[in-house]
Amino acid sequence: MNPIMSIAFLLLTVAGCCLAYLAHRNQQWLRAPLGRAGGLAAALLLAAGLACAWQAWAPLTAIFAWLVVQMLAWSLVPFFTLLIPKDRHEP
């Protein structure tokens, strides 16, 4: 097991999930979604995360871990909106 590849897998996969969320039209972090370019960057980051996992572990373990990290990230990322301070003057 290569620890550097494991860390790179985790960071790339979570970053890809965040970009995929920001590219969606119903995201709540930005005023406007990132669009198609953000979705393409998210796909590339997710593929790079899978490649790092593939180098760190056995193929079946890599795919399982990649999917589990995505499920966890996409479950938690929408709740980060609650950490963004709202302006008191907005209705």
d(Cα 47, Cα 12) in Å, to the nearest integer? 9
| Whole-angstrom distance, CA of residue 42 vs CA of residue 40 | 5
Q: Alpha helices, DSSP H only, in the chain?
A: 3-23, 36-56, 59-76
In angstroms, rounded to a whole number, what is the distance separating the alpha carbons of residues 33 and 56? 33
* pLDDT at position 82: 81
Q: Render each residue's pLDDT in the chain as its tens digit; 91 residues.
A: 788 999 999 999 999 999 999 999 888 888 888 889 999 999 999 999 999 999 999 999 999 999 999 999 999 998 888 877 776 545 5
HSE, CB side, 13 Å, CA atoms: give it for residue 38.
16
* Domain range list for the chain: 3-83
